Structure 1
């Protein structure tokens, strides 16, 4: 069969794409940035597009040509600079269903439990709207509602669970006793494979026949990482609000933190399968982790995950301050250039370097600009070192180490570049 997968570069989508390709299907994967996926999974035909811009029926005509099934693995947790929840999860899907009525492909929708405390939030409200429209469309369909998906890789909430599990000494958790149901990413891929084969139809919950608490799940991951047991330090929900506020703020700049308010609201009542009749038993959390033994790279990832926003914020503060502080005393700051150029030129050069530093400090906070900002920081740092060495080499011996302090900044910038990718 010819199968189109939406969100094929994502955590679930990549596993589903690999499974369907292994089943012998001709798979087309749609993603916003499929460049790396194209290298990792060359057997899949990759198409680049953004669902948020595919809200008209005609946007789907070319993609749906000759497709026998469409699997929607795409989603967006919360509106941000990078995501439009309504356009991605509702408007684009309604346009897809209308366009699909001509050829009647099977639609497999990866959804979620859309009731509960977070039901009115856009994340679940748009999923519910798309689910209801699909059920009423007359198209052949399967709606799969997985609980918390675990796998060899991690993204979003599963990444956060690993990071919390690797926390030193204690495990700081909010909603530690919230119930959580899980399954493996392979279970989702297996269900999609069965749906495509015609074995499944309708609305189906995917979850293991066990209910853990969030604390239980974090403890399991800590054991999986090979770390000694640690006590849970329960945090009152109000203590997490500043973190949630900063996470939401980062979303406005394009960062997809799993600590945003939508995720916290969902977790406040736990993550369980939906209340529908059809339920497929799935792999338990312990069995999922046991089937995918951790390596040192998993421990590194878990430890670095929560350090990443601190590194980005620290670099931003460093460059902003290095640009703002000289503006408080421009004459004094420009004095270093006076032996080599006129006073006006020295003042102008000082102002230019301040503007560059401030621009880089701001740009790194904007997710689409972060990589270019980091590369710019490296280039400017090397230029400062070269210029300082040529014009005033005595600065290397200065007790305050103005040039030596640039070297740790370069190393931190390289660390940020190495951990910048999200998938």
Structure 2
């Protein structure tokens, strides 16, 4: 039965979607993975398709289902918070509405597995949560056979967003405030999610017992967010590190800064929605899921604590938050250096060129041109879409300054403040930012 089922995974580049796609294939299912974009390391072959899923109408989605003779659709598409060009309502509610219509239009007997979020509806406070519930209601009222899965805090080999932040907090000498550290935070191993989908996909056609189920997927044992972080500390070997408690106001400030970074195209793990969901906690009752599937969820906290971290785990965890600091410092460095030379110390900047026998007619144009170039590089680095180009331009400009100075004003290399000597570490910092730019 397994070999005959064809599964369509939507959002196959994400934390859950990528693991599920690969794991179901390993179990013998024919899986078509679809995402807006795959990273170069994710695209596994012809059955991984790049498509603008959220922009596709119901007809296009129906053709996708028909073309590949799909039996099961797994929807892992999700968005934590609005970003330029997309919002949570369009991703969660509107897309699911079109997906439901597409399944009906396909004329096929399709089983729909939808990945949602745990928690009580009365505690939904964010657009993320409310639109997720709207999607659940659309599916429940559609009459389409399927399952709504509500996984807890997902622990996977990969780390994006919140799971990356937990690793970073475990690696660095910081401690969450007692209120946040003590919230319920029931985790689940991503393998248990995939095993559940495999169970559902393997059901016989006449089995109606799973045609309209809503299951919480998480370990039974109660645990807090602080407990989850402690398990990663055990794995990373940082249990004995002294800790500085982060003030609650610093978390709120970090969330606002994260919201600002989100408007520039970045996806920082701490934004107002993430903080609100973190403070609500992750809780549920997995008993119905366990009884129906006979799956005994792994003790995710214990499993994490017992697994020794690899060196790449340690480097990632330590660098995750530092990466944001590196990007921000480079934006400030380039923008301020150009702004100061152009608006604050213009006369001093031009005097430096005049004192080194620059042609008078070139002094003003070169000062203005280099200042505007510096500001432009800072702006390019600030936006996620252009950050790579900005970093490359910054490296090229730095080498250009160093070579030009060596030819035209070699004495600047030995001036007391060492301005040109300090350019070399800035180049190295830009290289670090460039090679750590990928999120997936």
TM-score, with normalisation over the residues of structure 1? 0.92
Preserved contact between residue 185 and residue 224 of structure 2 (Cα < 8 Å): yes
**Residue pairs, 1:5-404, within 5 angstroms:** 5-39=9-43, 41-42=44-45, 45-54=47-56, 56-65=57-66, 66-81=69-84, 83-101=86-104, 102=106, 103-113=108-118, 115=120, 119-168=124-173, 170-173=174-177, 175-198=180-203, 200-201=210-211, 202-230=213-241, 234-235=245-246, 237-273=248-284, 277-279=288-290, 281-289=296-304, 292-327=307-342, 328-338=344-354, 342-404=359-421
* Matched positions, count: 419
Note the C-alpha offset of 1:141: 0.9
Deviation at 1:326, TM superposition (A): 0.8
Asked if 2 retains the 8 angstrom alpha-carbon contact of 1:114 and 1:274, the reply is no
Q: CA RMSD in A?
A: 2.2
- Give TM-score scaled by structure 2 length: 0.89
C-alpha contact 2:167 2:317 (8 A) present in aligned 1: yes
Are residues 51 and 124 of structure 1, via their aligned partners in 2, closer, same or farther at CA, if it must alter by over 3 Å?
Answer: farther
- SS state at 2:175 partner: strand
The partner residue of 1:409 within 409, 421, 426 is 426
Q: How far, CA to CA, are the matches of 2:309 and 2:53 in structure 1?
A: 34
Q: Matched residue of 1:80: which SS?
A: coil
More helix by share: 2
Distance 1:244 1:257, change over 3 A: same
SS at match of 1:71: strand
Q: Is the 8 A contact 1:149 1:182 kept in 2?
A: yes
Pick the structure with more strand per residue: 1
| Alignment partners' CA distance in 2, 1:70 and 1:37 | 24
Q: CA separation of 1:198/1:116 partners in 2, compared to 1, >3 Å: closer, same or farther? A: same
Q: In structure 1, the residue corresponding to 2:382 is in which secondary structure?
A: coil
Instruction: Kindly state the Cα deviation for residue 304 of structure 1 after the two structures are TM-superposed.
Output: 0.6
Which deviates more from structure 2 when the two are superposed, residues 28-37 or residues 296-305?
Answer: 28-37
Deviation at 1:229, TM superposition (A): 2.6
Q: Secondary structure at the match of 2:433?
A: helix
Gaps of 5+ in 2: 205-209
Gaps of 5+ in 1: none
- Contact 2:83–2:263 (CA under 8 A) maintained in structure 1: yes
Q: Partner of 1:364: helix, strand, or coil?
A: helix
- SS of match in other structure, 2:139: helix
Aligned partners of 2:121, 2:361: CA distance in 1, in Å? 65
State how far apart, in whole Å, the 1-side matches of 2:303 and 2:154 are. 10
